[in-house]
Amino acid sequence: MSSHRSGFVAIVGRPNVGKSTLINQLIGEKIAIMSPKPQTTRHRIMGVLTKPDYQITFVDTPGLHKGKDLLNKTIDKIAVSAISDVDIVLYVVDRKKDDTADDILRYFKAAGVPVFLAVNKIDLLPSKAHIDDIILSYLSAYPFEGVIPMSAKQGTYVDKIEELIVPHLSEGPRFFPEDMKTDQSEEKLMGELIREKILYHTEQEVPHAVAVVIESLTENEELNTIDVSALIIVERPTQKQILIGKGGEKMKKIGMEARKEINQLLHTKIHLSLWVKVKKDWRNRPGDLKSLGFSEDV
């Protein structure tokens, strides 16, 4: 009888290299929001992939960067903490190594676990020679266990990740139920889906000054719907005006798109109410960060 393997794998990299797209492909379900904006992911998100002979728990981490405000410094701590708590690291890159990668590689050395290099977005590269150039730029800097050129968006060679990782997992039982896909609560997923639509539809200073809190979930038996009330927090009155838009059009669009995705998530119809509140400088206030689910003690 073959033994069962299990373990935790951190998906690590700079902002906007495709980590959330990758974990959604690996799990086969949308558990992490995506947008073209850097720092879309703020929390550590777990995605669970269960097969008959193994269970891999992927940990999607915020992009490592040098943030200035307290929120971004806390996000960086979350990402670094994830590296120290896993069995394997999957380092996702989409360009040749530069000096900014050295800090990340130092984290890997301190963790002392197997690290695999995943070169993402190969569908955007003009030739195999360009892929080889990226790989070679990293191979001289760190002793990677293996390399996977891939496209998370297209799903190209994503299955190779499992093939390379599984032999490095330890023998052990499942840590989570077979049907579990993520540790995200429905409320957290709903809030993140709303924030995803805000990221897509706003520009400049608004996206990263936004937080979303689900204030209430109420079953409406008469209409056979779930009434969801969500609070959107911004830092300045001008951001509130931009977010609402002329005649409330932008807010209506955000609400409509978020409602469609939440309907799919809950497999039921919802009525979504969105409210906007100004909380000055919330990203630099420890009390506000804690109340919004960002802990410095990671």
- Residue 293's pLDDT band, with cuts at 50, 70 and 90, is low
- One-letter amino acid identity for 64? L
Q: Quick one: pLDDT at residue 66? A: 52
What number does CATH give the domain 186-291? 3.30.300.20
Q: Quick one: pLDDT at residue 8? A: 92
- Residue 220's pLDDT band, with cuts at 50, 70 and 90, is confident
Q: Quick one: pLDDT at residue 44? A: 66
d(CA 277, CA 158): 41
Of 232 and 60, the one with more pLDDT:
232
- Residue 209's pLDDT band, with cuts at 50, 70 and 90, is confident
- Residue 298's pLDDT band, with cuts at 50, 70 and 90, is very low
Cα angle value 94/97/98 (rounded, 5°): 120
**Is the predicted pLDDT of residue 65 greater than 80, yes or no?**
no
Token pair for residue 24?
Answer: 């959604």
76-106 confidence digits (pLDDT tens):
555 556 566 789 999 999 999 988 788 788 8
What predicted TM-score, i.e. pTM, was given to this entire model? Answer: 0.74
Q: Do residues 118 and 148 make contact, with C-beta atoms less than 8 angstroms apart?
A: yes
242-283 confidence digits (pLDDT tens):
888 889 999 999 999 999 988 887 787 889 999 999 988 777
Q: Do residues 40 and 196 make contact, with C-beta atoms less than 8 angstroms apart?
A: yes
d(CA 141, CA 124): 24
Q: Do domains 5-171 and 186-291 have the same CATH topology?
A: no
How many C-beta atoms surround the C-beta of residue 52 within 10 A? 8
Of 44 and 192, the one with more pLDDT:
192
**CA 233 to chain CA centroid, nearest Å:** 20
116-175 confidence digits (pLDDT tens):
999 999 999 999 999 999 999 999 899 999 999 999 999 999 999 999 999 999 999 999
d(CA 2, CA 214): 45
**Is the predicted pLDDT of residue 64 greater than 70, yes or no?**
no
Instruction: Count the alpha carbons within 13 Å of 3 in the hemisphere toward its beta carbon.
Output: 8
d(CA 194, CA 190): 6
DSSP state of 11: E
Q: Which residue has the tokens 């947008």?
A: 35
Token pair for residue 252?
Answer: 């209506």
- Taken in order 230, 195, 117, 155, the sign of the CA dihedral is positive
Average pLDDT along the chain = 83
- Residue 74's pLDDT band, with cuts at 50, 70 and 90, is very low
40-58 confidence digits (pLDDT tens):
444 567 889 999 999 999 9
Q: Quick one: pLDDT at residue 207? A: 60
The domain locations on the chain are: 5-171, 186-291
Token pair for residue 51?
Answer: 């097969």
What number does CATH give the domain 5-171? 3.40.50.300
